[in-house]
Amino acid sequence: MNKFLLVAVVWATWSSQIANAASEEIQVYLDDKEAPGDVSIDWHNNYVFSNRLAPEYAGQRPSEHVYRLTPEINIGLTDTLEFGIYLLTSHDAEGGLNGDGGKLRLKYIAPHESEGMFWGVNLEMGKQALAVAPKPWNAELKGILGWHLGPWTLGANISAESAMDVRGGPVTGGLDIKANYAITQKTQIGLESYNDLGPLSHFQSLSANSKTMYAVIDTEIGEYGFNAGIGRGLNAVSDQWILKFIVSTKF
């Protein structure tokens, strides 16, 4: 219980701060989760070398030359449930340090074999700055589907995101895809694709929303896990060049 109390206090304090820069987690969810009672932190890092041509909404901070650091605390609840918390931070192009809000999440991974199909769902809710999201309180429901096929790992996340306000605008969707190939027991290389779909109530053209492709490597060094990648935006409304890496630490 002390772990949950500590996490709740940290999140409540952080999410009350006001921020001036965008924050972001760049990750395709697979079937990894903490065992009951175990705790880990994933340190999400990314840096935008060149950004989209224009902001998506009034008040959004330009992402160019912004470095984002997002600690994600993971706590295993049961064999199938994991609780998480995100603390959103950034270092903007003018040199300012920002707390960009916070999010809570609950992830369910269905029991499955080490080979073959896996599935799950992830629910996130939180408060973010205007520079990060057009509405402060929002929620996202993400479906997780994938396969372990020998040296291959394939995964897809389909998501729906909405402001927690009936006047918050339409529900928007996203589709993220990952394909990894194991070259050693601890190292995989592959591709990750992140695709905003726009409002789910009506289809938009492929060029209307952000589409980004990453070349990635996943590996382990000692007790640390690493996911690193270089991304390229595929249209004019996407950030054009992005570097990202995630460092995973266990306790």
Q: Each residue of 188-210: pLDDT tens digit?
A: 999 999 999 989 888 788 788 88
How far is C-alpha 122 from the chain's CA centre? 11
Per-domain boundaries in the chain: 2-250
Q: In residues, how long is the chain?
A: 251
**DSSP-derived secondary structure letter, 11:** H
221, 247 contact by CB (below 8 A): no
Q: What is the pTM of this model?
A: 0.85
Taking only the tens place, the pLDDT of each residue in 56-88 is 777 777 778 889 999 999 999 999 999 999 999
Helix (H) or strand (E) holding 187, with range, is none
Taking only the tens place, the pLDDT of each residue in 160-189 is 998 887 677 788 999 999 999 999 999 999
Confidence of residue 21 (pLDDT cuts 50, 70, 90): very low
Tokens of 197: 């779909």
95: left (phi over 0), alpha (psi -120 to 50) or beta: left
Q: What dotted CATH number matches 2-250? A: 2.40.160.40
Taking only the tens place, the pLDDT of each residue in 117-154 is 999 999 999 998 877 677 788 899 999 999 999 999 99
